């Protein structure tokens, strides 16, 4: 049953994250070849920058909001940007990582994650999507700026470390802010958590007096469910051959952070999407587990959202340079597409 709470009585040994790697990056290709092949023109749409705020300009400090919004806590790959290997390379051949090391630079990216601040007449709820390896650092930076305190639920896209590696850090919330946090996760990913986070799934193995995250696991199926009065529709995708991951639709927003293929049946769930947040790891080609920018743009043309923000970018994606090229697509074919960045806040209709 979707959303049914799960209780586990036995513990399992920790299992290493089933990770994935990417080939060493080749020189980034120019986006001119992508831009020069437009399909039929579409009517112009509103600018990406209309109705968006950066972390610096959106700071409230009091949690005061007028409507629902999405806050991008992380927009990078599993290893994050900058890479230590690039910063310590004597030849300094990676301009993106060099820029990312500067405070406030939009090339600095942590693990992909968003927080949905859902505002209704009855109150506001904070729904987190994924809590990866860098979650603590993302929360440390963005929660105070946006006036966030509680985490009312966590939705899990998949069970790689960049999506669940920060579970242990949720103890700060359940020790000091709230008694527990509901986790919404597919059965296959919960089974991984029984091994990687066995002491959080079955807290009976924890020594008396030890403080760990108090998490309530709810198994979801590939069918709509409700979290704090917000209807959430899973968007099943492939994240590499044979590996299922979930995107989510809430209101007019479709979020797919980790994908190499979108099944035909999932496109039907994305009809009339206003804002699409989509995986785009590198500028020139796809990897075995992620869309590259050319494929991501092809998906945008197929899905036809009003606007698109790309996420999950590696260090070949220079924020300003790629966005400058993407702006040309709006002039040529009416596509409103841009790279997102950590700390971006977007008002949404939920």
Burial of 30 (0-12, 13-18, 19+ CB in 10 A): exposed
Question: What are 213-271's pLDDT values in tens digits?
Answer: 999 999 999 999 999 999 999 999 999 999 999 999 999 999 999 999 999 999 999 99
Question: What are 96-113's pLDDT values in tens digits?
Answer: 999 999 999 999 999 999
Percent of the chain topping pLDDT 90: 80
Burial of 314 (0-12, 13-18, 19+ CB in 10 A): buried
What pLDDT is attached to residue 73? 98
- Of the listed ranges 14-23, 250-259, 267-276, the one predicted with least confidence: 14-23
Name the average pLDDT for the chain.
Answer: 87
139 has which bridge partners?
A: none
What pLDDT is attached to residue 22? 35
What is the SS3 assignment for 319? helix
Question: What are 160-208's pLDDT values in tens digits?
Answer: 999 999 999 999 999 999 999 999 999 999 999 999 999 999 999 999 9
What pLDDT is attached to residue 288? 97
Percent of the chain topping pLDDT 70: 81
**Fold that domain 40-58+67-221+230-342 belongs to in CATH:** Metallo-beta-lactamase; Chain A (3.60.15)
What pLDDT is attached to residue 9? 32
Cα dihedral 172, 177, 180, 182 sign: negative
Cβ distance 308 to 279 under 8 Å? no
Burial of 282 (0-12, 13-18, 19+ CB in 10 A): buried
Q: What pTM does this model have?
A: 0.84
Report CA dihedral (21, 154, 186, 167) to the nearest 10 degrees.
Answer: 50
What pLDDT is attached to residue 27? 39
> Is 70 exceeded by the pLDDT of residue 24?
no
Could you tell me the end-to-end alpha-carbon distance of the chain, in angstroms, rounded to an integer?
A: 25
What pLDDT is attached to residue 251? 95
What pLDDT is attached to residue 51? 52
What pLDDT is attached to residue 92? 87
276 has which bridge partners?
A: 254, 308
Question: What are 45-74's pLDDT values in tens digits?
Answer: 333 444 566 664 544 444 444 699 999 999
What pLDDT is attached to residue 209? 86
Question: What are 305-322's pLDDT values in tens digits?
Answer: 999 999 999 999 999 999
> Is 90 exceeded by the pLDDT of residue 3?
no
The pLDDT-based confidence of 1 (bands split at 50, 70, 90) is very low
> Is 80 exceeded by the pLDDT of residue 18?
no
> Is 50 exceeded by the pLDDT of residue 153?
yes
> Is 50 exceeded by the pLDDT of residue 39?
no
Count each helix (H run) and each strand (E run) in the chain, helices first. Answer: 12, 15
> Is 50 exceeded by the pLDDT of residue 37?
no
69 φ, ψ (degrees, to nearest 5): -155, 160
What pLDDT is attached to residue 31? 56
Mean pLDDT of 3-32: 38
Cα-to-chain-centroid distance, residue 182: 18
Adjacency order of strands within the sheet including 113-120? 4-5, 215-220, 181-186, 153-155, 123-129, 113-120, 69-74, 345-347
């Amino acid at each position: 049953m979707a959303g049914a709470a799960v209780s586990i009585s036995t513990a399992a040994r920790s299992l290493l994250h089933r990770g994935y790697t990417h080939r060493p990056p080749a020189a980034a290709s120019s986006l001119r070849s992508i831009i020069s092949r437009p399909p039929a023109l579409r009517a112009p749409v509103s600018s990406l920058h209309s109705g968006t705020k950066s972390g610096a300009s959106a700071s409230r400090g009091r949690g005061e909001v007028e409507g629902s919004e999405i806050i991008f806590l992380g927009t990078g790959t599993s290893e994050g940007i900058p890479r230590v290997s690039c910063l310590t390379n004597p030849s300094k051949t990676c301009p993106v990582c060099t820029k990312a090391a500067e405070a406030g630079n939009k090339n600095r990216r942590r693990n992909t994650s968003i927080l949905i601040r859902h505002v209704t007449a009855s109150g506001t709820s904070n729904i987190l999507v994924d809590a990866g390896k860098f979650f603590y650092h993302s929360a440390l930076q963005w929660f105070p700026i946006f006036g966030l305190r509680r985490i009312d639920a966590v939705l899990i896209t998949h069970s790689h470390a960049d999506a669940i590696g920060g579970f242990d850090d949720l103890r700060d919330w359940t020790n000091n802010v709230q008694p527990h946090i509901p986790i919404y996760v597919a059965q296959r990913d919960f089974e991984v958590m029984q091994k990687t986070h066995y002491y959080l799934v079955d807290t009976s193995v924890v020594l008396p007096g030890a403080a760990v995250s108090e998490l309530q696991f709810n198994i979801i199926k590939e069918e709509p469910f409700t979290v704090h009065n917000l209807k959430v529709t899973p968007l099943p995708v492939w994240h590499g051959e044979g590996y299922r991951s979930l995107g989510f639709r809430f209101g007019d927003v479709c979020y797919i952070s980790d994908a190499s293929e979108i099944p035909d049946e999932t496109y039907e769930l994305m009809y009339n999407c206003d804002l699409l947040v989509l995986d785009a790891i590198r500028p020139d080609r796809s990897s075995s587990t992620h869309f590259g920018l050319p494929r991501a743009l092809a998906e945008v043309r197929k899905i036809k959202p009003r606007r698109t923000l790309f996420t999950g970018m590696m260090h070949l994606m220079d924020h300003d340079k790629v966005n400058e090229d993407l702006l040309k697509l709006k002039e040529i074919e009416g596509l409103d597409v841009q790279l997102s960045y950590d700390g971006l806040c977007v008002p949404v209709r939920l």
